[in-house]
Amino acid sequence: MADYSVRGARWWVVALPTALACIMSANFSSAQTCDSQDSAALLEFKAGFVDRDGVFAGWNGTADCCSWQGVTCELGRVVELKVMAFFSSGSPVRDTAYAGGQVGASLGALTALTQLDIENVRFNGPIPDSLGDLGNLERLKLRQAGLQGLIPESLCNLSKLQVLDLTDNAITGNVPACVTEWTQIAAIRLAANELSGAISENISQLITLVELDLAENGFEGYIPRSLQKLQKLEILSLSANSLNGSIPSALTGLKSLQVVALDHNQLTGGVSSWWYRLENLTQIELNDNQLGGNIYLPGSTEALAPLQKLSLQNNKFGGTIPPELGNFVGAVAIDLSNNQLTGPIPDSLGNNTFGTLLLSNNRLTGGFPLSLARLQTVRLDGNQLDDLTAIGSVPTDGFNVISELGLGENRLAGPWPTWISELVNLSTLDVSSNNISGPIPVALLSSQNLQYSLNASHNPLNIPLPGGVGFVSQLGILDLTATGLTGSLGASFFKSFPLVSSLYLGENALVGDLPFDLPAMLNPSTNILDLSNNFFTGKVPRFFNLEFLMYLDLVGNSFAFGPL
């Protein structure tokens, strides 16, 4: 009955049909009569809210409560209550005129209840102490419920509790010490609240725990070494707190771990290579901390975790990229951007076929290993790459799959390399802010897959405006700002680029009158047109018919009525 799903799923509407009664065990009567005490408790709960969207519309005293939406009964007793409203201003919200006492307190009378699942019904008050009377409760989920105040110690009476989910409220204080009474607990989800203080050592006594999510709170201090006792733990999320100190090496003894999320804290020190040996680990998120040193991995002959995501960005890691990163099997997403990494990019990283490699804003040198064409996304912007020559060869085994390549803000110089046109599945290419010169290869511009974006801005191309040479581009975004373009803007250009909706041609040496029918030449879906700081003359065309145009920049030209 426990639910171990990773935090992040959102359920908007749940309607439990009365037909559920038909699939119950044959030992139960198909015709149920709701217990009068349970019915009264539910009606009192409903009375505490202003319900503009009619979430509780079917709850009335004339119908059997076992037939109400969200209510499941066994032998006439309410055993499950699931109320999940739309996230809107019309969601049920606490009625300030309600005089029946603490909102939700009546739910404590549903003593047969095993599952209580309420989302986006706005209590705007404390968790009712009376919920501690639900001795049969196995799952308690009160998400996005506007709950405030402390977690009441009365909840420690729930000895059968398996899942506690209070995600996205305004709960304060800390986890009560008495949680050690939860001897069957499998999942604790308290993310996105206002909890504070040190992480309670008492949590380490919950040896049945499979998921612990304390992300997006105000916890501070060290990560408790005692968490190593949680040998069944699969998901550990402590993201977005104020935790400091080093990552306890003892945690690498948690052999069941699948997800470790410690990002957006103030952690220091290095990262042990043992993390990469955990046989079930699929996701490591250590980004946005103050971690440093070299990135160590086990030797190439040792088994590595079945990793799917490695996030180490926005730290202080230095040294070279270990070639062993290419030993992970499958489509791994690796993000090492915004660190202090140096040296060349290992050719072995291309082994992560269909993966993602983000290395932007480091101090990497050399060039682009063509083995990386096996990956789907590669971002190398903001480094010190200076070699445009072919390093290796483009894959010919059907794995030339790269669709996004970022090489902007490097030191690449010289004419366009031929290998860049061989990346036939590119849909997005950014080579901006380099020292690339000469004409853009027609084979690249005419690629049927280069459909999203080409950014070659701030390069000394020093060429006539491309177009009119017998090709048709599929590009939607073209940025040739500050590339030394010459010539005039006319029909031949738009015949070659009929699908461009965001066009940047500013800071060039384009001349002549703009065609009066220029708006008709443009893609009707054009939303950005930048022709600023050129040498255009004549009258400004009327752009009023372009209903999607959001940005038009014509400044720095010499139109007939004077500079615009």
Nearest in space to 489 (alpha carbons), one of 515, 463, 509, 507: 515
Contacts with 396 (C-beta within 8 Å, 6 or more apart), sequence order: none
Residue 406 falls within a domain, yes or no?
yes
Nearest in space to 122 (alpha carbons), one of 172, 86, 160, 70: 86
In a shared domain, residues 418 and 346: yes
Q: What does the pLDDT average to over 479-492?
A: 96
pLDDT on residue 127: 95
pLDDT on residue 102: 79
pLDDT on residue 331: 85
C-alpha of 77 from chain center: 41
pLDDT on residue 298: 78
Residue 342 falls within a domain, yes or no?
yes
Query: What number of other Cβ atoms are within 10 A of residue 103's Cβ?
Result: 24
Residue 456 region by backbone torsions, left for phi larger than 0, else alpha for psi between -120 and 50, else beta: alpha
pLDDT tens digits, 306-335: 899 999 999 999 999 999 999 887 889 999
Q: Are 358 and 336 in contact (CB under 8 A)?
A: yes
pLDDT on residue 10: 31
In a shared domain, residues 461 and 517: yes
pLDDT on residue 393: 94
In a shared domain, residues 388 and 464: no
pLDDT on residue 445: 94
Which residues pair with residue 117 across a beta bridge? 82, 141
Q: What does the pLDDT average to over 402-416?
A: 98
Place of tokens 């290992």: 346
pLDDT tens digits, 6-35: 343 333 333 333 333 332 332 333 356 899
Q: What does the pLDDT average to over 342-351?
A: 95
In a shared domain, residues 498 and 448: yes
Q: Name the band, by pLDDT with cuts 50, 70 and 90, for residue 563.
A: very low
pLDDT tens digits, 145-171: 999 999 999 999 999 999 999 999 999
pLDDT on residue 302: 66
In a shared domain, residues 336 and 398: yes
Place of tokens 């006594």: 205
In a shared domain, residues 425 and 443: no
* pLDDT of 481 over the 50 cut: yes
Q: Name the band, by pLDDT with cuts 50, 70 and 90, for residue 95.
A: confident
In a shared domain, residues 557 and 445: yes
In a shared domain, residues 411 and 427: yes
pLDDT on residue 538: 92
Q: What does the pLDDT average to over 501-530?
A: 95
pLDDT on residue 285: 97
pLDDT on residue 8: 38
pLDDT on residue 88: 67
Residue 344 falls within a domain, yes or no?
yes
Residue 448 falls within a domain, yes or no?
yes
Distance set, CA 303 to CA 275, 280, 297, 355 (Å) = 12, 12, 11, 19
pLDDT on residue 1: 40
- Show the domain range for 371: 323-432
Q: Are 337 and 362 in contact (CB under 8 A)?
A: yes
In a shared domain, residues 442 and 556: yes
Q: Are 381 and 430 in contact (CB under 8 A)?
A: yes
Residue 452 falls within a domain, yes or no?
yes
pLDDT on residue 100: 63
Q: Give the total number of structural domains in the chain.
A: 2
pLDDT on residue 89: 67
Q: Are 183 and 158 in contact (CB under 8 A)?
A: no
Instruction: Write out the two tokens for 124.
Output: 């705007």
Percent of the chain with pLDDT over 90: 77
pLDDT tens digits, 57-76: 899 888 899 999 999 999 99
Least confident window among 29-33, 47-51, 467-471, 509-513: 29-33
* Cα–Cα distance, 245 to 352 (Å, whole number): 32
Of 382, 401, 432, at which residue does a domain stop?
432
Query: What number of other Cβ atoms are within 10 A of residue 361's Cβ?
Result: 20
pLDDT tens digits, 244-281: 999 998 898 999 999 999 999 999 999 988 888 888 99
In a shared domain, residues 421 and 359: yes
Of 413, 432, 451, at which residue does a domain stop?
432
* Cα–Cα distance, 411 to 386 (Å, whole number): 5
In a shared domain, residues 422 and 443: no
Q: Name the band, by pLDDT with cuts 50, 70 and 90, for residue 345.
A: very high
User: How are beta strands 509-513 and 413-415 bridged, if at all?
Assistant: unpaired
Nearest in space to 345 (alpha carbons), one of 322, 327, 328: 322
Residue 549 falls within a domain, yes or no?
yes
Percent of the chain with pLDDT over 70: 92
User: 173 vs 61, which has greater pLDDT?
Assistant: 173
Q: Are 240 and 214 in contact (CB under 8 A)?
A: no
pTM (2 d.p.): 0.89
pLDDT tens digits, 451-475: 999 999 999 999 999 987 778 999 9
Please report, in angstroms and rounded to a whole number, the separation of the first and last CA atoms in the chain: 69
Kindly report the CATH number assigned to the domain that includes residue 424. Answer: 3.80.10.10
Which residues pair with residue 212 across a beta bridge? 188, 236
In a shared domain, residues 402 and 453: no
